[in-house]
Amino acid sequence: MSDVQLAAEPGPLEFDPGRAALVVIDMQRDFLEPGGFGETLGNDVSLLQAAVGPCRVALEAARRAGMLVIHTREGHRPDLSDAPPAKLARGAPSRRIGDPGPMGRILVRGEPGHDIVAALYPEPGEVVLDKPGKGAFHQTDLAQILANGGIDTLLVCGVTTEVCVHTTIREGNDRGYRCVAIGDACASYFPEFHRVGLEMIKAQGGIFGWVSDAQSFAAALSAAEAAA
């Protein structure tokens, strides 16, 4: 497939799907479903459902185009040895990381709540990247995976816009990747943070990236397929 032209802000972006990865951030039950980490922090988790449909559109388009697909999951080892004490102690949640809840231990690897929601479940061959932090590059092998795949462009979606999506885009931008947030495929517990979070990425001529949407991403890939 040849380069595709993606409608985005602050301006269109041309990229080679063979050198691009779709990174789906933390679409886990712990963030999206009642009884998980997000709800322990006092959030209305139903707000994150808005991202599921657009994420699916982006995922299906990337799969059809044969793009590298990476799913991330935020969480910790069962003994919590990789969880910074400051993270464990922060705030006043109803249950802390590692505590038992209706979907197993909160934000712990291997527990039902740590898993990815059914609608966006990874397919065999897709990368599933476990990360202990907010950014997908922190303490993971993501940089090596991207280098091995010859990747130069990251299309990023998932939750939450202003936390793990933002941190990953900032990390990727600093490492030289062209980073695009698929805006409608991201969501936040705070609609205002979502809106402003996307504004921040694309302001000042795209200070650390671009913002597009799931339909534009899918249309760009389809147009390139049709032209091939």
Just list the catalytic residues.
26, 131, 164
- Tell me the two tokens of residue 14: 């041309």
Among 51, 54, 76, 160, binds ligand C5J (CB under 6 A): 160
30 sits near ligand C5J (criterion: CB under 6 A)? no
- CA angle (77, 133, 20) in 5-degree steps: 115
Q: Is the dihedral of CA 76, 81, 87, 92 positive or negative?
A: positive
- The whole-angstrom separation of Cα 67 and Cα 184 is 20
- Looking at the Cβ atoms of 93 and 149, the one nearer to ligand C5J is 93
Residues in contact with ligand C5J, shown as a per-residue x/- string from 187 to 206 under the rule CB under 6 A? --------------------
Q: How far is the CB of 21 from ligand C5J (least distance, A)?
A: 18
40 sits near ligand C5J (criterion: CB under 6 A)? no
Interacting span for ligand C5J (CB under 6 A) from 88-96, 112-120, 157-165, 211-219: 157-165
Q: How many residues bind ligand C5J (CB under 6 A)?
A: 8
Q: How far is the CB of 1 from ligand C5J (least distance, A)?
A: 31
163 sits near ligand C5J (criterion: CB under 6 A)? yes
- Looking at the Cβ atoms of 114 and 220, the one nearer to ligand C5J is 114
Interacting span for ligand C5J (CB under 6 A) from 11-19, 80-88, 156-164, 174-182: 156-164
Residues in contact with ligand C5J, shown as a per-residue x/- string from 69 to 98 under the rule CB under 6 A? -----x------------------------
Q: Is the dihedral of CA 89, 192, 181, 34 positive or negative?
A: positive
- The whole-angstrom separation of Cα 18 and Cα 1 is 8
Please state the length of the chain: 228
Q: How far is the CB of 52 from ligand C5J (least distance, A)?
A: 15
Q: How far is the CB of 215 from ligand C5J (least distance, A)?
A: 24
DSSP symbol at 76 = B
DSSP bridge partners of 15: 4
- The whole-angstrom separation of Cα 68 and Cα 135 is 19
- The whole-angstrom separation of Cα 34 and Cα 199 is 29
- The whole-angstrom separation of Cα 150 and Cα 55 is 24
- The whole-angstrom separation of Cα 108 and Cα 111 is 6
| Residue ranges that bind ligand C5J, judged by CB under 6 A | 26, 31, 74, 134, 159-160, 163-164
